[in-house]
Amino acid sequence: MYSKISVVIPCYKEAAVIRDTLLTVHAFLKSRFERFEILVVTDGSPDETVSVVKDVQTNHPDIPIILFSFKKNHGKGAAVRKGILKSTYDPILFLDADLTISIEELESFLSALKNNVDIVIASRLLSGSHFEEPSPWHRILMARIFHLLQIFILGNFEFPDTQCGFKLFRRSAALNLFRKATIHRFAFDAEILFLARKNNYKITTLPVVIKRDPRNTNVRIIHDSLNMIFALFKIRLNQLLGRYRA
């Protein structure tokens, strides 16, 4: 069983929640692992996210937090990629800063990451998944359309919920996939799973409980939807042009 782990948390406008998140994640990891690190990656957040994280670092020097803070905003995909490529341990988890999926779900994900399994992803659409608060209708619609487009553009039938922000990787798989990744914003999960299929990684999907979102989403309905559709074409084009070859 794993005794080490790297945890990547992409952060944008998370000043209201990031302190509690870091303390909660730390308490869980400390009880479960001999060694771990929490890589916080933030980029151009207009609020106090950076100073709150620095404050936690100062007041809790026992928490192994590594902060990457960029001036310019690049997107969630770029942030997760940065954290993963700078991480040390095996396996590697990334999760959302709002903890809408609890860090305690990690236990079942670790159990699933064995034998020949390389990647364990959460899916909100499995029968065992449960929403503490219903998703807004427009987010459900966005997710359904995004999945349909993934089928048409990428041939991705397998994963109806590519976008759930809780994914655990064997280190070798994460490094291989994120080194090849090109999508900086919200469609990056679609690219990672597309590449994972092409590289014949074994992927397991688990149900999760989705908690109430403690603050507003960063997803902008029109802007991010268009950006994500454009990204699917970019992924297909990259593949046709051979840009994903090792």
Ligand X SMILES: Nc1nc2c(ncn2[C@@H]2O[C@H](COP(=O)(O)OP(=O)(O)O)[C@@H](O)[C@H]2O)c(=O)[nH]1
Under rule CB under 6 A, residue 97 binds ligand X: yes
231 Cβ contact partners less than 8 Å away, ≥ 6 residues apart: 183, 185, 187, 188, 190, 191
224 binds, among ligand X, Mg ion, none (CB under 5 to 8 A by kind): none
Write out the E strands in the chain: 4-11, 35-43, 65-70, 92-95, 119-123, 130-131, 166-169, 203-207, 209-210
DSSP 215-241: S--S--HHHHHHHHHHHHHHHHHHHHT
Nearest distance, CB of residue 36 and ligand X, angstroms? 18
- Nearest approach, Cβ of 115 to ligand X (angstroms)? 30
224 in contact with Mg ion (CB under 5 A)? no
Exposure of 164 by Cβ count < 10 A (0-12 exposed, 13-18 middle, 19+ buried)? Answer: buried
d(CA 195, CA 149): 17
Q: In terms of C-beta density within 10 A (0-12 exposed, 13-18 middle, 19 or more buried), how is residue 213 classed?
A: middle
The stretch among 91-99, 129-137, 150-158, 194-202 that binds ligand X (CB under 6 A) is: 91-99
Among 16, 126, 219, 229, binds ligand X (CB under 6 A): 219
- Partner from Mg ion, ligand X, none binding residue 42, C-beta < 5-8 Å depending on class: ligand X
Min separation Cβ 95 and ligand X, Å: 8
Q: Which 61-80 positions form the footprint of ligand X (CB under 6 A)?
A: 73, 75-76, 79
| Comparison of 186 and 201: residue with beta carbon closer to ligand X | 186
Pick between residue 13 and residue 170 the one whose CB is nearest to ligand X.
13
CB 73 to Mg ion: min, Å: 17
Picking from 92, 79, 104, 78, the residue whose alpha carbon sits closest to that of residue 168 is: 92
Minimum CB distance to ligand X smaller for 40 or for 235: 40
Residues that bind Mg ion (CB under 5 A): 96, 98, 100
Residues that bind ligand X (CB under 6 A): 10-12, 14, 41-43, 73, 75-76, 79, 96-98, 100, 165, 217-219
